[in-house]
Amino acid sequence: MSRRNSNQLVVQQARGALDQMKTEAAQQLGVQFSQDGYNGNLSTRDAGSIGGYITKKLVQIAEQQLGGQGRF
């Protein structure tokens, strides 16, 4: 998979999990990723849908982990 993303991860070990999350989100939304790893041709709507799906999942994970720990 080609790496053309300029975003820097705070925790480098999270890259695999985030890539898996992107793939799962795309599958759930019916968006086809390119076989060569380059997805710069995705429509803005599809890319936004994937990003929104991932954000929703990350918030759910955080809520589960923070459950019972009080408020910020």
DSSP annotation of 14 reads G
Percent above pLDDT 90 for the chain: 49
- pLDDT one-digit tens code per residue, 6-30: 678 888 888 899 889 999 999 999 9
What pLDDT is attached to residue 3? 54
**pLDDT recorded at residue 9:** 81
Global confidence as pTM: 0.72
**Which carries the bigger pLDDT value, residue 11 or residue 44?**
44
Using a 10 angstrom Cβ sphere, with 0-12 exposed, 13-18 middle and 19 or more buried, the burial of residue 63 is: exposed
Residue 61 has pLDDT above 60, yes or no: yes
CA angle, residues 14, 30, 34, in degrees to nearest 5: 65
